[in-house]
C-alpha cells in the first residue's frame, strides 16, 4: 500500500470520527447548575418554605429564601412547597477530665425536607441533609455560648446551601 493511499484512508477516518463526535454531542444540553438564565432559577424562586420551629430552623429558612430568590423574598403565589424540619445537636469532643467540661465540640444541624408541587400535590423530593460545624469552647461563659451560636449559624448556612443545590437538581430534572 502506498503512502498516498494510507494518508487518504487516515484522513477519511479522522473526518468520520469528527463527524461522529459532532453528531453524538449535538443532543447534549449542558448548562451550569448555578446559571441565572432558564426555567430553573424562576422555578426555584417560586418555592414557598414552611415556618421554622426554632432559631436554627429560622437561620436555615432565611438563608434558603435569600439563596432561592436572589434576595427578592418569598413568592406571593408559590408553585412549590418545601416542608422543612431542622434539628440541632451539640456534642463535646474533647472533654477535660479534671473539670468534666468540653474544650471542643461539634454542632450537627440536620434538615429533613419534602418538596411538593402544589398544582397536583406530587412529592418531587423527600430527603435529609446534615451539616457539621466544629467549635472551640472558652472557659468564659459568654464566649462559650457565643461560640456555640456561631457554630450553629455556620452549620445552618451550609445546610441551606446543600438543600438549595439539591432543589436545583430536582427542579432541573422536571419536564417543561
pLDDT in tens, the chain (176 residues): 565 666 777 788 777 777 776 666 655 555 555 555 556 677 888 888 999 889 999 999 999 999 988 877 888 888 899 999 999 998 776 666 566 566 788 999 999 999 999 989 899 999 999 999 999 888 788 888 898 899 999 999 999 999 999 999 888 887 75
CA distance 85 to 54: 10
CA distance 48 to 156: 18
φ, ψ for residue 137, nearest 5 deg: -95, 140
Q: Enter the C-alpha cell of residue 15.
A: 473526518
Residue 14 sits at the vertex; the CA angle it makes with 9 and 19, to the nearest 5 degrees, is: 125
- Cβ atoms of 47 and 67 within 8 Å: the answer is no
Q: Enter the C-alpha cell of residue 49.
A: 418554605
Burial 154-175 (b: 16+ CB within 10 A, else e): bbbbbbbbebbebbbebbeeee
Closest-CA residue to 109 (of 161, 69, 154): 154
Q: What is the DSSP letter of 34?
A: T
Amino acid at each position: 500500500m502506498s503512502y498516498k493511499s494510507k494518508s487518504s484512508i487516515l484522513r477519511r477516518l479522522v473526518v468520520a470520527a469528527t463527524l461522529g463526535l459532532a453528531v453524538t454531542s449535538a443532543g447534549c444540553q449542558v448548562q451550569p447548575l448555578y446559571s441565572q438564565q432558564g426555567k430553573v432559577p424562576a422555578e426555584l424562586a417560586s418555592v414557598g418554605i414552611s415556618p421554622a420551629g426554632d432559631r436554627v430552623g429560622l437561620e436555615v429558612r432565611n438563608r434558603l429564601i435569600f439563596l432561592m430568590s436572589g434576595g427578592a423574598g418569598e413568592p406571593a403565589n408559590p408553585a412549590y412547597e418545601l416542608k422543612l424540619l431542622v434539628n440541632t445537636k451539640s456534642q463535646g469532643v474533647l472533654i477535660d477530665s479534671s473539670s468534666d467540661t468540653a474544650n471542643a465540640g461539634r454542632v450537627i444541624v440536620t434538615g429533613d425536607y419534602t418538596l411538593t408541587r402544589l398544582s397536583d400535590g406530587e412529592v418531587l423530593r423527600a430527603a435529609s441533609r446534615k451539616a457539621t460545624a466544629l467549635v472551640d469552647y472558652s472557659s468564659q461563659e459568654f464566649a462559650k455560648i457565643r461560640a456555640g451560636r456561631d457554630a450553629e449559624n455556620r452549620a445552618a448556612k451550609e445546610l441551606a446551601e446543600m438543600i438549595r443545590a439539591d432543589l436545583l437538581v430536582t427542579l432541573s430534572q422536571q419536564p417543561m
